[in-house]
Chains A and B, each alone.
Chain A
Amino acid sequence: MLKARIIPTLLRKELGLVKGKNFKDLRRVTDVMPLIKIYNARDVDEIILLDIENTIKSKPINMNFISGIAKELNVPFCYGGGITNFIDAKNILYSGADKIVLNSALYDNLNIINEISNYTGAQSIVISIDVKKIDKKYYCFSHCGSKNRNINLFDFLQNLSSQKFGEIILCSIDKEGTMDGYDLNLIKEVSSHINVPIIASGGAGSYEDMFKALEFGASAVAAGTIFHFTELTPSGAKRYLHKKGINIRDGFKFEY
């Protein structure tokens, strides 16, 4: 039985990890490496690291930084931030990331997905979509929520249907960092609309929120604030979800 994944999302800016609310008001959390080491030691299901500075400032991607992180991890590592072409994607995978996240670049050239997936296989590509609700409709935003692309989410999903990729990180900008729950309606509509796994993102404030997101069709739940600023942990989430009947990965038990 496939297990629901609980994924800490780390946002990097300048030299450390940050976290904001509604994609604004960033607070510094910690240095990158100590947290990566802790999550690896705690055997999380997967890690998503998004370098938000690369996207905003169009800075070159630091491959040494990526390989430094990959060196510490024995679990899947998904990297995003500033990827605009096939060469970036290839170098990131060579540096030790397992999956790459595409977001802002998609709005200029959607075909970048197939350009990369023809080479790496579709499973290495994660599509990240940041949406905001305006007049009861969802619109797509790029560049860390700063640019409204004026495209309806479902039109965008329709455009994506010609491209080969593995999964979607679906983030509600309205919910992000608020800790008042995922946008369940959004998760439900998208997961019933599209036949690839959805990673719910934005708004987790309790383990119950994660349970609901999974009930509404998410295959995995990503969370930042809840893990950075409260006493809640990925393993606490798993214990809770397990009690509620969700299949989770219950760390490895040695047999002696």
Chain B
Amino acid sequence: MKVAIINFNSGNLYSIKKSITDLKHEAFICNDSDDLKNSDKIILPGVGSFHQAINYLSKFGFVEALNELILKKEVPILGICLGMQLFCKSSSENKFTKGLSFIDAEVLNFKDIGCKFKLPHIGWNNINIKKEDYIFNKIPDHSDFYFIHNFAVKCNQQEQILATTNYNVDFVSIFKKKNIYGVQFHPEKSSKSGSILIKNFLEI
């Protein structure tokens, strides 16, 4: 199996690649949207700002390529952190920005959903499973994952929420719609639980 990791030109793609090669699968950093076609699975990572990321994706043809591969050909995709947020309809980060709109959800600042705790939300926090899915294979409910973010996803379709996490307020930590998975935490930095989650995604 070949896994494409979309290169945003921002931050650490290295650990995602490593987490896949550790599982004995092939992964490549995808700089050109044409190369996405050659992959069996796609990972949309994300460090940086929503606005910049969307601009980058559209400028380099990734938006069209993703629409074709994800929505029509139903290639499995995993969005990590900002990557998850980009699947949503919009984000209020910096200024209102439209997302890829694969998922009926909005991205909001923690403060705007009533969080009074210190921000960013940094560190290990547990998921609360809301809906069974293969992604949880061998992952017990309430397992800890590593989070680092200021913005959180609010899903409009309850059935797309696989897990939530609490940081003063509940927010969506994993969502799924058909072949599209999004996780707010960083599985590539989440030690064993993260590695199993990536393994599960690769087996889907």
Contacts and interface: CB of A to CB of B under 8 A. Distances in A.
B193 interface: yes
Nearest to A198: B118
Given A76-B146, A97-B12, A98-B15, A2 B167 contact: yes
Contact of A123 (B122, B140, B166, B194): B122
Contacts of B195: 74
B199 interface: no
Nearest to B193: A252
Interface stretch (B58-66, B123-131, B152-160): B123-131
Interface in B9-39: 10-12, 14-15, 18-19
B124 A196 contact: no
B179 interface: no
B14 A1 contact: no
A254 interface: yes
B67 interface: no
B101 interface: no
B11 A93 contact: yes
A152 interface: no
Contacts of B140: 253, 255
B122 A219 contact: yes
B118 A196 contact: yes
Given A70-B14, A119-B10, A195 B119 contact: yes
A102 to B, nearest CB: 16
A230 to B, nearest CB: 25
B143 A252 contact: yes
A254 to B, nearest CB: 6
A95 B12 CA distance: 7
Nearest to A164: B150
Majority SS at the chain B contact face? mixed
A95 B14 contact: yes
A74 B191 contact: yes
A246 interface: no
Contacts of B98: none
Interface in A214-256: 219-220, 249-256
A221 to B, nearest CB: 12
Nearest to A99: B148
A252 B12 contact: no
Interface in B147-204: 147-150, 166-167, 186, 188-195
Contacts of A256: 138
A22 B195 CA distance: 39
A190 to B, nearest CB: 12
B139 interface: yes
A120 interface: yes
- The 3 nearest A-B residue pairs measured at CB: A96-B14, A252-B192, A249-B124
10 contacts: A2-B117, A3-B125, A74-B189, A74-B192, A96-B14, A96-B18, A98-B189, A120-B47, A249-B124, A253-B140
Interface of A: 1-5, 43, 45, 67, 70-71, 73-76, 93-98, 118-124, 166-167, 195-197, 219-220, 249-256
